[in-house]
Amino acid sequence: MHWRPMQKHWRVGGHLAVSHDFLGMGMYEKQVSKGHLPYCYLKVRLDFEEDVDPTDIDIIIFKHIVLQAVQSLFGEAASCTPIDVLKYRQTNREAILRVSSRYFTKLWASLTWYSCYSEQSCAFRVLQVSSHLMALAANSRQLSLA
């Protein structure tokens, strides 16, 4: 059987190594992405200084707040970058955000500086960040022994 290595590079970008090995029956493939993966994911929570009725902030308003945070620090151009609210839980205002990894630091900084929504002091708490959405499914630091 004639076998030719695939030369096509993956679109994950950055430095990457593609190796192929002809092993017995099947074909072994390995792709290593060390550079920027396409997206970064943040698990965040919006905390208010005083208790706020959870129904006050729904997912639309939450997204608006995130965009407002980015726009006030980096301006119109930056707020055009797609930021997705993948998941939002209204009871504790916890969300998973997805952003292109190039804008990750900027988004994070914008969230850190954000301090006030409709004259109420608030703060974004960034709980977990990762370049793999799967990684946000478990957090071993939350393991309680009780």
What tokens appear for 13 in the block?
A: 């970008």
CB of 55 to other proteins, least distance (A): 17
Q: Where are the beta strands (DSSP E) in 24-131?
A: 27-33, 39-48, 83-89, 94-100, 116-117, 120-130
What is the closest distance, in whole angstroms, from the C-beta atom of residue 40 to other proteins in the complex? 5
Taking the CA atoms of residue 86, residue 58, residue 79 and residue 83 in that order, the dihedral angle to the nearest 10 degrees is 0
Using the minimum distance from each CB to other proteins, give the nearer residue, 15 or 54. 15
| Residues β-bridged to residue 83 | 99
Residue among 53 and 137 whose Cβ is closer to other proteins: 137
Least distance to other proteins, CB of residue 93, Å: 14
Q: Under a CB-based contact definition with an 8 Å cutoff, are residues 95 and 88 in contact?
A: yes
Distances (CA, A) of 38 to 9, 65, 84, 114, 131: 15, 24, 14, 25, 8
From the CB of residue 35, how many other CB atoms can be counted at a distance below 10 Å? Answer: 11
Nearer Cβ to other proteins, position 34 or 54?
Answer: 34
CB nearer to other proteins: pick between 54 and 58: 58
**Nearest distance from residue 133's CB to other proteins, in Å?**
3
